[in-house]
Amino acid sequence: MTMAVSPDVDEQQAFDELIAQDARIEPRDWMPEAYRKTLIRQISQHAHSEIIGMQPEGNWITRAPSLKRKAILMAKVQDEAGHGLYLYSAAQTLGITREEMTEQLIDGTAKYSSIFNYPTPTWADMGAIGWLVDGAAIVNQVPLCRCSYGPYGRAMVRVCKEESFHQRQGFEILLALMQGTDAQRAMAQDAVDRWYWPSLMMFGPPDEESPNSARSMAWKIKRFGNDELRQRFVGMLVPQAEVLGVTLPDPELAWDDDAQQWHTSAIDWDEFTEVLSGRGPMNAVRIQNRRTAHEDGAWVREAAAEYARKQALREREVA
């Protein structure tokens, strides 16, 4: 597409056509302001979630039960850092700076996935997070690979490949525990009990209470509604829970043949709202840790900037 010379009407039309053709919108293309804002919000929240999401698992790196488990967990947590960086870069193409996004995160104004505000008291939490949290992330993110905004969609392709490794490593941790002692089986079940409902909440509120959802679908940022993705996730979990031998903590969970969907108990959205608005068990700790890491890293940023300045100076001298 060429740069903006025609009035907004033509540009809007060109944008609508690209969306209708399932083509990608790229950073230099004209886009409606609301589309840009929606994407900045969604991509930066997603980036923050990846970065904050390193904490609950980082908590277990020094205490993983074997060298092999430690190596796997470290690789996994490092992947999440990488996801955060791809996503911050994608958001930057929309005209927000990395500094602004970091500022919003550490001053507590930016949101991130509420799932990371729950504590991780046992090793089995590493299994439950991989299986349920990364599992929900995959179901959410696979359709985002086809997001109409190019840089976001392309980042998601790589992210999803890594997420499927994360989900399997979580499943495998739980499987090992379920084949262990009674105490280990109880630990695995307890972690599943604690993470199951929060993982269902990761898909967001029901579609009829999520007014932005329809607009995001029209813009082809989102491809499926929250409820449909949640259904898909439950459908994926049921057979896997059977293989593991864990019980999903919902006595009402059953396949409804008439409705052709899973029947589940009502989700406690009050809990979701509480945690999302900053009153979850670990919100303050997560943000404080992030702020401290940012302050502790100031000298690295200064050194990198100084190094870049000297390099540029040297290049100019050579030229």
Interface residue list for Fe ion (CB under 5 A) = 50, 80, 83, 134, 163, 166
Cβ at position 34, least distance to Fe ion in Å: 27
Shorter beta-carbon distance to Fe ion: residue 31 or 167: 167
Cβ at position 53, least distance to Fe ion in Å: 7
CB 37 within 8 A of CB 22: no
Cβ at position 318, least distance to Fe ion in Å: 42
Shorter beta-carbon distance to Fe ion: residue 89 or 264: 89
Q: Between the CA atoms of 188, 46, 148 and 95, what dihedral angle is there, to the nearest 10 degrees?
A: -170
Shorter beta-carbon distance to Fe ion: residue 125 or 163: 163
What H or E segment, with its residue span, contains residue 89?
A: helix 67-92
Q: CA dist 227 to 10, 140, 272, Å? A: 36, 11, 15
Cβ at position 249, least distance to Fe ion in Å: 23
Shorter beta-carbon distance to Fe ion: residue 29 or 163: 163
Q: Where are the beta strands (DSSP E) in the chain?
A: 254-256, 261-263
Cβ at position 57, least distance to Fe ion in Å: 9
Phi, psi of 94 (to 5 degrees): -100, 0
DSSP state of 280: S
Shorter beta-carbon distance to Fe ion: residue 30 or 199: 199
Q: CA dist 275 to 138, 206, 303, Å? A: 22, 17, 37
